[in-house]
Amino acid sequence: MQKDVHEAELQNLLTAYVVTGLLFMLLPGTFLGVWNLISISSERGLSSLSAAWIQAHGHAQIFGWIGTFIIGIGYYSLSKMGTIAPFAVSRGWLSWLLWTCGVLLRWVANISLWNWRILLPVSAAAELAAFLIFFFTVSRHRSSGAGRTIEVWMGLVIASTVGFLILLLMNAAVATRLALAGETPVFPHGFDQRFLVLATWGFPVLAVWGFNARWLPAFLGLKPASRGSLLAGLVLCGSGVIAALSGNFRIASAFLIVASVTVTLALNIFERAQQPPQLQGVHPAFPAFFRLCYAWLLVAAILSAWAATADQNGGIWGASRHALTVGFLAGMIFAIGPRILPAFCGGRQLFSPALMFAACSLLNLGCLLRVSSEIPAYEGFAQAAWHVLPYSAVIELIAVSLFALNLALTLARPAAPLSDSRLYTISFSQGPKQI
Ligand code: HEM
C-alpha cells in the first residue's frame, strides 16, 4: 500500500516535469527560435538580432526543456533502480518549483530586460538550488545499491550529472558578475561559445549515451554495448569539453569526432539487430529514427571541426549546434520519449504512433533544411539559401507541436491501475526488458 502511494506520487511528479518541459520547449524555446530565425533571414544576418533573445531561446531549450526532462526522469528512474532509498517526493516538488521559476525568470530577464540585474542572479540561484536538491537526493541516499560496482552506463550518467552541476555553477558565477558589473544580461560571445560546448556535449549528450547503453539492447535488440569503448568515449568527450572550455576549439572538435565515432561503434548502432526491437505501442520506424540521431551526432562533430577552422559569421557553428541539439538531442527525445514516457507516467499507451512518425519525420526534414542552408546563407556562399531557412523553422515548429500534442493527449488518457503500471516501472531494478 505504502509502495503504491509512493509509486503514484512519483508518477505525478514525473508528469509535472514532462508537462513543464514541453511548455518550455514550445513557447519560450521553439516559438522564439522560429521568430529569431525568421528575423535573421529577413535581415540577411545574425548581427541584426538581439543576442539576449538568442540566448533566451538557447536557455529555454537546454535548461527549460532538456534539463527539466533529465531531472524529472532522473528522480523517477534512479528511484526505480534500488540505488537510492525511497525519498520524500516533496523534495522533487520543491526542486520542480525552484527550477521552473529559475528558468522562467531567466527568460523574462533576457526578453524584457525588466529588472534584469536582480532577475538574472536570482534565476541562476534558483536553478542551482533546484539542482542541488536533486543532486543530494540521488547521490546521498544510496541503500541497496551501496557497495555495488558502478556500470559504465551509470558512469556516463554520473559524468553527465557532474557536467550539469559545473554548468549551473558557471551560469551562476557569470550571471552574478553581469548583474554587478555588466551592461546587459548577455553572456559575452567568447565565453558563451565555450559554455555551450559544456551545455551540450558535457551534459545532455553524455546522459543520452548512458541511457542508450542501458536501454538499446532491449529496445532495438542490439548487441550489448562494449564497456571499454564506452569508457574511452567518455574520456574522449570529456577531453573535448575541457579543450573547448580552455578555448582550443580545433583540439576540442578532434576529440569530439573521435568520441562520437567511438560511442556509435560501442553501442553497435549501425549493426544488425540480434533480436526484434520491442516496439510496444510506438511506430515501427522507431529503430530507423534512432539510427538517424547518431548520423546527426557525427554530422555535428564534423561540422564543429569545420567551424573551428573556417566560421566567419556564425553559420557553421549554428549548423553544427543545431545538428546536435535538433538532430541528435531533440531527435532522440522524439524517438525514445513516446517509448518510455507514457509507460513511466502511469503505464499509459502512446496516443498515436502515426503522430509520432509525422513529428520525427518533420523534425528530421526541418533539421536537414536548416543545417544545409544555414552555412551557405550565413557564410555568404549562396544567397538563395536565405529563402529556405524560414521554411525549415516552420517545419520544425510543426514537428515540435505534433510531438507535444501526442504526449499531451497520451497523458490525458486514463492511467493503468497501479498494479499494472508497476509492471512498466519496476523493471528498472531488474533490467530493461519489461519496460
Ligand atoms: C526547433 C526549431 C529551432 C529553431 C528555429 C532555432 C533557431 C535558432 C536560432 C535562429 C539561433 C541563433 C543562432 C543561429 O542562427 O544559429 C539559435 C541558437 C541556439 N539554439 Fe536553436 N532553434 C531551434 C531548436 C533548438 C533546440 C531544439 C535546441 C536545444 C535543444 C536549440 C538550442 C540552441 C542554442 C543552445 C543556441 C545558441 C544560443 C546562444 O547563442 O547562447 N535550438 N536557435
Distance of CA 284 to the CA centre of its chain: 23
How close is the Cα of 157 to the center of ligand 1, in Å?
24
Buried b (16+ CB within 10 A) or exposed e, 5-30: eebebbbebbbbbbbbbbbbbbebbb
Atom of ligand 1 nearest to the CA of 329: 30
164 Cα–ligand 1 center, Å:
19
For 21-52, give the DSSP string: HHHHIIIIIIIHHHHHHHHHHHHTSGGGS-HH
- Residue 332 has a pLDDT of 97
- pTM of this structure: 0.94
- Greatest pairwise CA separation for the chain in angstroms: 66
Whether residue 389 contacts residue 377, with contact meaning beta carbons closer than 8 Å, is answered with yes
Q: For 285-294, how does the pLDDT look when each residue is reduced to its tens digit (9 = 90+)?
A: 999 999 999 9
**pLDDT at res. 262:** 98
- In degrees, rounded to 5, the angle at the alpha carbon of residue 125 between the alpha carbons of residues 123 and 129 is 120
Q: Measured in angstroms, how far is the CA atom of residue 30 from the centroid of ligand 1?
A: 8
Give the SS3 label for residue 168.
helix
Neighbours of 133 (CB within 10 A): 20
Q: Which residues line ligand 1 (CB under 6 A)?
A: 30, 33-34, 36-37, 40, 46, 54-55, 57-58, 61-62, 66, 192, 196, 318, 321-322, 325-326, 329-330, 393, 396, 400
Q: Which residues of 55-81 are buried (b: 16+ CB within 10 A; e: fewer)?
A: bbbbbbbbbbbbbbbbbbbbbbbbbbe
Q: Which atom of ligand 1 is nearest to the CA of 49?
A: 12
Nearest CA to ligand 1 atom 10: 37
pLDDT at 84: 59
246-282 pLDDT, tens per residue? Answer: 999 999 999 999 999 999 999 999 999 998 888 888 9
Question: What are the two backbone dihedrals, phi and then psi, of residue 23, each rounded to the nearest 5 degrees?
Answer: -65, -45
Give the C-alpha separation, 48 to 400, whole Å. 26
CA of 118 from ligand 1 middle (Å) equals 25
Atom of ligand 1 nearest to the CA of 37: 10
Closest residue by CA, ligand 1 atom 14: 318
For the CA of 34, the nearest atom of ligand 1: 5
The tens digit of pLDDT for each residue in 70-87 reads 999 988 887 776 555 667
